[in-house]
Structure 1
Amino acid sequence: MDDARNHLGFLSRDETIALARRGILVPDPGSVLVSGDVRLAEDIVLWPNVILQISAGGSIAIGRGTHLFPGTRIVALGGSVIIGNEAEVGEEGGFTIKAGAGETIDIEDGVRLLGGGSLILSNRIGRGAQILGPIRCQNCTLADGGTYRDPEPDERGGVLKGSGVARGIEVPQGHVIQAFGPFTDAVMQRQSYFHPKG
């Protein structure tokens, strides 16, 4: 097992177990693959079947308190992936994040990415923003705002929800685009439309 891990640039099983000494929780070390150069902060949770892979001079940095749920795959093939603090990535079906040479994927604090979607090419997912569903995002920008727990929907970070392909999409604070197909054809709405008060 360790020969294959070492050949592919991943930590050995014992090195993966040892991440706990740095305050990183790994409930099932045998199913988790982490490249040696990945930068991990304290209180991160790496759930089973998570892959963090670096090659060709890429970089991955993950902030404090972030949860990477089962089936999450983050790959830096010469590019850069930065995930902030207290993000939730991959619940309800995993998530794929892949940055090639010269590409940067910037995921800010409190972001929620779930439902089997993906980020490829360069993207900026702002503070508190969300991607909900199997959406393939390429060169998208979701604005900063509050997290999904913020009581004011129109003050939350930008949201994409549904399924399909989102290319070059920009979503301002407090707005959402819901689509089931190409997101370029969908109407942008206030988040309060989906979460009315009272």
Structure 2
Amino acid sequence: MNETDLKGNEARRRLGFLSLEETAALGHRGILLPDPGSVMVSPGVQLEEDVVLWPNVILQASSNGHIAIGRGTNLFPGTRIVASSGSVMIGAGAEIGEEGGFMIKAGVGETIGIGDGARLLGGGSLSLSNRIGHGAQIVGPIRCQNCTLGDGGTYRDPEPDERGGVLKGSGVARGLKVPQGHVIQAFGLFAEAVMRRQSYFHPKG
């Protein structure tokens, strides 16, 4: 190991992350890391088989924080998940951080749950406590706090009104509940926008 690697590992240790060797060894457990040197993972983070950690992903758990990520979930470049005395639980087959990364942060006593097949993209964030249901979506740079998006099919489901709840656009969403098959599109304050059926945006010909 050269001097650069030694210094890098010392910095990782002081910041509470696995060493480069320990990070690369996650691959032996079925985790997919195309570039282990750019990925930061805290000890104790629970990763199931076939999770994909693309370059520049950070999974940071501190002060008894808890992070668990289900089988086959993709964390795209620029995704950062932080649990500082809080909990972040992500189901199987989710897609997080495409098109600009994504920030997920659970502080003291806060819980963020993200269901199977959810899709979060476009540089948005989750903070405080949130429940993002199975198949639900956040599309765009949206700051989401204390929101609940209902369970449903994924964005691939042919019936829009059977998909999970959706927030799309940009701005701030606080304390909102979006049930299955519904969407709020806004560019500013989501609380002031109209909730519609998803078929409004995806009508059948």
TM-score band (shorter)?
over 0.9
Which residue of the partner structure matches residue 25 of structure 1?
Answer: 32
Greater C-alpha radius of gyration? 2
Partner letter of residue 16 of structure 1?
T
Are 2:98 and 1:91 aligned?
Answer: yes
SS in 1 for 2:171: strand
Q: TM-score, normalised by structure 1?
A: 1.00
Partner letter of residue 64 of structure 1?
R
Q: CA deviation at 1:9?
A: 1.1
SS in 2 for 1:81: strand
Q: For this pair of structures, how many residues does the alignment match?
A: 198
- 1:98-136, Cα deviation, whole Å (9 max, x unpaired): 000100000010000000000000000000000000000
- 1:29-59, Cα deviation, whole Å (9 max, x unpaired): 1100000110000000000000000111100
Which residue of the partner structure matches residue 169 of structure 2?
Answer: 162
Unaligned runs of 5+ residues in structure 1 are none
Q: CA deviation at 1:8?
A: 1.0
Alignment of 1:1-198 (within 5 A): 1-198=8-205
- 1:119-177, Cα deviation, whole Å (9 max, x unpaired): 00000000000000000000000000000000000000000000000000100100000
SS in 2 for 1:127: coil
Distance in 1 separating the partners of 2:22 and 2:107 = 27
Distance in 2 separating the partners of 1:182 and 1:132 = 15
SS in 1 for 2:18: coil
Which residue of the partner structure matches residue 5 of structure 2?
Answer: none
SS in 1 for 2:17: coil
- The alignment's C-alpha RMSD in Å is 0.4
Shift >6 Å, 4+ stretches: none
Distance in 2 separating the partners of 1:4 and 1:26 = 20
- 1:38-90, Cα deviation, whole Å (9 max, x unpaired): 00000000000000001111000000000000000000010000000000000
Distance in 2 separating the partners of 1:55 and 1:65 = 24
Distance in 2 separating the partners of 1:16 and 1:41 = 14
Q: CA deviation at 1:3?
A: 0.1
